[in-house]
Structure 1
Amino acid sequence: MSTGLIIALIVIVAAVVVVAAVLTSRARGAHGGRNLKRRFGPEYDRTLARHDGDAQAAERELAERVERHGSLRERALEPAQREQFEARWTAAQERFVDSPREAVAEADRLLSELAAVRGFPAGGYEEQLEAISVHHGHHVHGYRHVHSVARVGAGGRDGDRADTEELREAMVEARALFEDLTSPIHHADDRSTTPASTRASGRSHLPFALNRRHVKGS
C-alpha cells in the first residue's frame, strides 16, 4: 500500500471521527435541552427570554443550577410543622380581604421559612429561589412574584406600589408553590409534571378572600 493511500485513509478516518463527535454532541445537547425543559417547565421559558432566545446560554445557566443544587435532598415536614404552616397560610389568605399588602408580605415570609425547613438554602432570597427552581421549576415563579410584589408594597422599588389585583395574582401563584412545599416529597421530574391542585388532594381551594368581588381596595 502506497504512502499516499495510507495518508488518504487516515484523513478519511479522522474526518469520520470528527463528524461522529459533532453529531453525538448535538444529540446530547438536544436531549439535555429536552430534559431541562421538562424539569424546569415555565422557568425554562423565562430563562430563555432573559437570554433573548439564546437556547445555549439559557440551558448553560439552568444546567449550572442543577449542578449546584440538584443533589439537594428535601426534608419531609413533620405533621405538626405542616399544620402550623397551613394554619398560617390560611390566616394570611383571610387577612387579604382587609389588608392585602400585609397578607402578601406574610406569604413571602412563609415561603422563605417553609423552604428553609424543607432544606433549601436560608442564606438569601436569590440563592434560595435558584435552588427551589431546580426542584419546583413549574411553580417557583409564585415565590418570585410574591417576593417582588411584597418589595414593591414596602416601597422597595423606587416607592412604587402594586395594585390590589396584582397582589391577588401574586397570592394565587404563591399558593401553588406553597402546596408543592407542603406536599409529600416526590422525585423532581414526577412532581413537576403534576399540577399542585391535583397533588394536594383533599385540600380546600382558595378561600373567598382572594375572589375579586370580595377584596377591598388597597
Structure 2
Amino acid sequence: MPVWGWILIAVIVVIAVVAVIVARLVSSRQRTERLRGRFGPEYERTVGEVGNLDAAEDELAARERKREKLDIVSLPPEARAKYADSWRTVQIEFVDNPSSAVGAADRLVIQVMRERGYPIDDFDQRAADISVDHPKVVENYRRAHSIYLAQEQGDVGTEDQREAFVHYRALFEQLLETDENKDKPKETRA
C-alpha cells in the first residue's frame, strides 16, 4: 500500500477518535445540564455530598429510574380536603404546643407520601424519592426532619420548631398538588 494510503487511514482513525471524544463530551454536558435543571439545588447538594461529579450524577439518574418504577398517584379531591383539614388542625395546635405540632406535621407528611405511593420506610430514601418530583422543597424536608429529631432529644427552641413547621408546610403543600401551589415552594410563616 502506498504511503498516502496509510496517511489517509491514520487521518480517518484520528477523525473517528476525535468524533467519539466530542460526542462523549457533548453527551456528558447535556446530561449535566438536564440533571442540574431537573434537580436544581438538590443537584449541587448531591455533588457536594458525594464529592465526585460523575458519581453524583449517577446517583441522581438512579433516583430518576427508581422513581419511574414507583406508582405515584395524585390524591383524590376528598383526600386532599381531608389532609388540608388535618393540616389546619395541626397548625392551630402549634400555637399551644409547638413540639407536638412538629411531630404531627412529620407524621402527616409521611401519611400523604404513603397515600400518594412513595415508599416511606427510611427517611434518607424518602428524601431521595421526593427529590425527583419536588427538588425545590426536599431540602426543606431534610431540615424539618433534622429539627424534629433534635426536638426528640430536647435540643430545640420554639424558633427552630417554627422553622421546622414552615419547612414541613412547604413540602406538604407540594404533596397535596393543589393548583395554586403546584411546583412552587412557599416560604411563609407558621
Structure 1 residue 140 and structure 2 residue 138: aligned? yes
TM-score, normalised by the number of residues in structure 1: 0.77
Structure 1 residues 100, 10: closer, same or farther in 2, change over 3 A?
A: same
Distance in 2 (alpha carbons) for counterparts of 1:145 and 1:88: 22
1:52-63 to 2 correspondence within 5 Å? 52=51, 54-63=52-61
Q: Compute the displacement of 1:73 (Å).
A: 4.3
Structure 2 residue matching 1:165: 3-state secondary structure: helix
Structure 2 residue matching 1:143: 3-state secondary structure: helix
Q: Compute the displacement of 1:184 (Å).
A: 4.8
- What is the match of residue 37 of structure 1? 36
- What is the match of residue 116 of structure 2? 118
- What is the match of residue 163 of structure 1? 157
1:40-79 to 2 correspondence within 5 Å? 40-52=39-51, 54-79=52-77
Note the alpha carbon deviations across 1:89-111, whole angstroms, 9 max, x for none.
11112211222111111111111
1:169-208 to 2 correspondence within 5 Å? 169-184=163-178, 194-197=183-186
C-alpha contact 2:127 2:141 (8 A) present in aligned 1 = yes
Q: Compute the displacement of 1:63 (Å).
A: 1.3
- What is the match of residue 12 of structure 1? 11
1:84-103 to 2 correspondence within 5 Å? 84-103=82-101
Q: Compute the displacement of 1:166 (Å).
A: 1.8
Structure 2 residue matching 1:87: 3-state secondary structure: helix
Which runs of 5 or more structure 1 residues have no equivalent in the other structure?
A: 186-190, 198-204, 211-218
- Structure with the bigger percentage of helix: 2
Aligned sequence identity (%): 33
Q: Which amino acid aligns with 1:183?
A: E
Which runs of 5 or more structure 2 residues have no equivalent in the other structure?
A: none
Q: Compute the displacement of 1:171 (Å).
A: 1.3
Please, which moves more after superposition, 84-93 or 62-71? 62-71
User: Runs of at least 4 residues of structure 1 off by over 3 A?
Assistant: 70-73
Note the alpha carbon deviations across 1:4-45, whole angstroms, 9 max, x for none.
332322222111111111111111111111111111112112
Structure 1 residue matching 2:10: 3-state secondary structure: helix
Distance in 2 (alpha carbons) for counterparts of 1:87 and 1:121: 24
Root mean square deviation, CA, Å: 2.2
C-alpha contact 1:108 1:143 (8 A) present in aligned 2 = no
TM-score, normalised by the number of residues in structure 2: 0.88
Note the alpha carbon deviations across 1:135-182, whole angstroms, 9 max, x for none.
111111222122221111112xxxx61222222112112211111110
Distance in 1 (alpha carbons) for counterparts of 2:126 and 2:68: 13
For this pair of structures, how many residues does the alignment match?
188
Distance in 1 (alpha carbons) for counterparts of 2:13 and 2:71: 45
